[in-house]
Amino acid sequence: MSAPAGKIEHSQSRELVLWSCGMGRLRVLESSGAFRFIDLFSGLGGFHVALQELGGQGVFAVEWEPTLNALYRHNFGVEVWSDINRLKTDEDIDQKVPEHHVLTAGFPCQPFSKAGDQLGFQDTVQGNLFFKVHQILKVKRPPRFILENVPNILRHDGGRTKDTMFNMLQDLGYAVKVAHFSPHEFGIPQVRDRAYFVGSLDGLDGFEWPEKHKDPTSISKVLHTSIMSSRPIPDLTLRAIDMWGDFLKRSPSSLKMPSFPIWAMEFGATYPFEFETPSAVWERRRKYGLSGMHVRGSFGFELDGLPIPEQRARIPSHSRRQGDVEFPRWKRTFIRQNREFYRDNAGWINPWMNQWQPWDFPSSFQKMEWNAQGEERDIDNFVLQVRASGVRIKRPTTAPSLIAFTQSQVPILGANLAGGRRYMTPRECANLQSLGDISLPESDLDAYKALGNAVNAKVVKAIAKPLLFAIPGATNTRTTRTVGAAS
């Protein structure tokens, strides 16, 4: 059943709307015709782009990062509050935050992300910002909200984080639903799964999530083919791309490329990993360590006769962490698979190693992930990304999920996709987030970082459209029914 909602009364002349909610508070919204929204943690303004396209009027935003704060004002003409924590008391919120129909918030996700330390609500800087969103909802009681975060928030702390959010929002009188979506399910060539919470004070019985579609996407949709060059790719990166391109070329076509990550440093290595680890040996044989055990390190380098610090330098970084006296099963599996792969393919891998000397590259370049099973093995047909976990080679159907990139992780387009190898430009990444032609931060680094944090506007629009139907008090959604006769 819907949450008990309020009653709307329209005055004839200037659309004065009284919205009295189930909690007994009376709100007055003076509507200028559009529904009014606020954008918390506004970043580049993905929510703004979406809701503006649906006819909404942004009336308030909060962003503490100075470049983004100023840019939002420039792009959308909205005054932007800085640190949300400076909206301390209920009175502050009541006075400073204007009345609105829709609250949106992409609250910081690091505390809930698999990639972070997962402190969640215990993270005193970023993790408890949900409570601030909750406080604003409590004081201002907008009829609708949309919140966005990483999908891991649904599993975080065994589901308790999500339950806490639901309970707190429902206690305010909101009906709440959550689902996850990615832009590639809406025709945009980016895989970026995100959780969306929607809430309504007058129930969600009539609300339906947008349909996902399975049509193939292509990165060409977001590329600007007229761009000849952007930031140059460093020589070392280009050389690593050539090295893996040559690896693919040399691999016999009858051989199925492994779907596990290729860790070249394990080619020729025989140090212990199944029942003991190098760190355990260094602990047990404090004088000689691995020396005298007749085992080999990365790329088959000798260890016998070497002092322990030199042995350490010849063991892959994934296997030499102090205290790692037992490897997790996934790591044992990857090491075993790579050594077997090398044993079966040394005939063509050895000349490849001799030519490229992969040991001279940083560790992340010594690993490769082939995400293009069954495709022709020409590296310039693909989208590449240098990650800590290796050089990822992906089909050009989608770009990798934009993250708050370091510059080196920006996707690289193979020469056959872009007329020459090059990084994707900030504008192309903005297309991946469906941000239209808004101005971006001047520095590429700031732009990539903000784009990696942004919400995809097309996904928001698809979710918001059915949610904003019949918002109490907004004249450009259908408001003729009297909300309050709760069904």
Residue 64 beta carbon to ligand SAM: minimum distance, rounded to whole angstroms: 4
Q: Considering only residues 90-129, where is the footprint of ligand SAM by CB under 6 A?
A: 106, 108-109
Q: Considering only residues 224-253, where is the footprint of ligand SAM by CB under 6 A?
A: none
Q: What is the number of the residue whose Cβ is closest to ligand SAM?
A: 43
Q: Identify which of residues 199 and 414 has a Cβ nearer to ligand SAM in the complex.
A: 199
Stretch that binds ligand SAM, among 81-89, 209-217, 262-270, 352-360 (CB under 6 A): 81-89
Asked if 65 interacts with ligand SAM (CB under 6 A), we say yes
Stretch that binds ligand SAM, among 39-47, 193-201, 236-244, 368-376 (CB under 6 A): 39-47
Asked if 146 interacts with ligand SAM (CB under 6 A), we say no
Residue 267 half-sphere exposure toward CB, CA atoms < 13 A = 24
Are 143 and 200 in contact, with CB atoms under 8 Å apart?
yes
Rounded CA gap, 296 and 307, in Å? 14
Helix residue ranges, H only, 272-381: 278-284, 308-313, 329-356
Both structure tokens of 443: 């520095």
Residue 59 beta carbon to ligand SAM: minimum distance, rounded to whole angstroms: 17
Rounded CA gap, 313 and 218, in Å? 43
Q: Which of 6, 29, 35, 46 binds ligand SAM (CB under 6 A)?
A: 46
Residue 465 beta carbon to ligand SAM: minimum distance, rounded to whole angstroms: 18
Q: How many C-beta atoms surround the C-beta of residue 99 within 10 A? A: 19
Q: Identify which of residues 63 and 185 has a Cβ nearer to ligand SAM in the complex.
A: 63
Q: What is the DSSP string of 50-112?
A: HHHHTT-EEEEEE--SHHHHHHHHHHH---EE--GGGS-SHHHHHHHSPP-SEEEE----GGG
Residue 434 half-sphere exposure toward CB, CA atoms < 13 A = 24
Looking at the DSSP assignment, which residues form a beta bridge with residue 175?
A: 200
Q: Identify which of residues 205 and 437 has a Cβ nearer to ligand SAM in the complex.
A: 437
3 state SS of 102: strand
Nearest Cα to Cα of residue 456 among 77, 186, 52, 210: 186
Nearest Cα to Cα of residue 114 among 156, 163, 65, 172: 156
Q: Considering only residues 435-474, where is the footprint of ligand SAM by CB under 6 A?
A: 453-455
Asked if 44 interacts with ligand SAM (CB under 6 A), we say yes
Q: Which of 21, 50, 54, 84 binds ligand SAM (CB under 6 A)?
A: 84
Residue 422 beta carbon to ligand SAM: minimum distance, rounded to whole angstroms: 25
Q: Of 109, 129, 172, 335, which is the active-site residue?
A: 109
Check if 109 is active-site.
Answer: yes
Q: Identify which of residues 46 and 426 has a Cβ nearer to ligand SAM in the complex.
A: 46
Q: How many C-beta atoms surround the C-beta of residue 116 within 10 A? A: 17
- One-letter amino acid at 402 equals L
Q: Identify which of residues 150 and 379 has a Cβ nearer to ligand SAM in the complex.
A: 150
Both structure tokens of 52: 């503006």
Number of chain positions touching ligand SAM (CB under 6 A): 21
Nearest Cα to Cα of residue 102 among 162, 51, 171, 62: 51
Are 463 and 471 in contact, with CB atoms under 8 Å apart?
no
Q: Which of 47, 299, 382, 405 binds ligand SAM (CB under 6 A)?
A: 47
Q: What is the DSSP string of 462-483?
A: HHHHHHTTT-TT-TTS---S-T
Residue 148 beta carbon to ligand SAM: minimum distance, rounded to whole angstroms: 7
Residue 459 beta carbon to ligand SAM: minimum distance, rounded to whole angstroms: 11
Residue 62 beta carbon to ligand SAM: minimum distance, rounded to whole angstroms: 5
Asked if 211 interacts with ligand SAM (CB under 6 A), we say no
What is the pairing mode between strands 57-62 and 36-40?
A: parallel
Binding residues for ligand SAM (CB under 6 A): 41-47, 62-65, 68, 83-85, 106, 108-109, 453-455
| Catalytic machinery residues | 109
